[in-house]
Amino acid sequence: MLTLIHQETFKLLRKKSTYFATILLAGLMILFAVLAKLHPKYFSPVGMFNNNFSGTLWITFFMIAACGAIVAMEFQYGTVKELLYRKYNRGQVLMSKWLVMFAYSLYLYILAFVLTIILKVSLFNNTFAFSKIGAGGHTLIENVGITMSGQFIGLWLILSLVLLLATMFKSATVAVSVGFIGYFASSVIANLMFTLIAKWEWLKWNPINMLSLTDQITDSTYKTFTRLSTDQLLLGNVGYVIVFLFLGYLIFRKRNV
């Protein structure tokens, strides 16, 4: 298992896209921080700080692409056969990919958090303080940590579905495209979903509603829309992640190579 994890890590580090994502993430965060500095009327410095200068949004896109490719490309290029012909079983192969993607997403989130702090100190040190009280009675720095934690959980709800889809397609492009379409579609139908939940409350357990975790963490009144407590949303996210990964495992185990 450790050998598989080492191999997956080696493959990830050999990809140019891995380094490109790091550079692009830093560049985009710096860009939005500069915009907030130059045009505070249009880009609120406090608001941009709370949103990691858009860092977590871009991480979602990078991770959807990475997770869609890490499984589907093995089938696209036939390399999965080489892994399965060795002493490893399918469960070990798939789990090693999950663990490497988890570590990669954690790395990007830590990078975004560190860059957020650096940009705040560099550009907005005299504009607002870390200790300023924000939403929910927490300080701004606490809000950033809490928000990022909720976003990370929500990210893995999305990625677990992408990893499931990746086991169903032979083309990495198709898997990534479906992942992006699903992500944007969930955002579009969110308001409609709340209307449907108000009419049929049992719909509150759908996975799209679980993506409201971050919003509800920062604004407790959001529960009037989700009809779930924050703890229930948290458990729902974890539950769906487990279900989607398990379904992906079942498909991967039975799939012809």
Q: Mind listing the pLDDT tens digit for each residue in 61-109?
A: 999 989 888 877 766 655 555 555 556 677 788 888 899 999 999 999 9
* Residue 143 pLDDT: 86
* Residue 75 pLDDT: 64
* Residue 153 pLDDT: 94
Radius of gyration (C-alpha) of the chain in whole angstroms: 20
Residue 9: alpha-carbon gap to chain centroid? 19
> How many domains would you assign to the chain?
1
0.85 exceeded by pTM: yes
* Residue 256 pLDDT: 61
Please list, in sequence order, all residues whose beta carbon lies within 8 angstroms of the beta carbon of residue 99, skipping any fewer than 6 positions away. Answer: 5, 8
Structural domain including 6 reads 2-254
d(CA 179, CA 61): 9
Instruction: Give me the phi and psi of 133, to 5 degrees please.
Output: -80, 130
* Residue 242 pLDDT: 95
HSE of 139, CA atoms in CB hemisphere, 13 A: 7
Which of the residues in the chain have pLDDT under 70?
74-88, 134-137, 171-172, 255-257
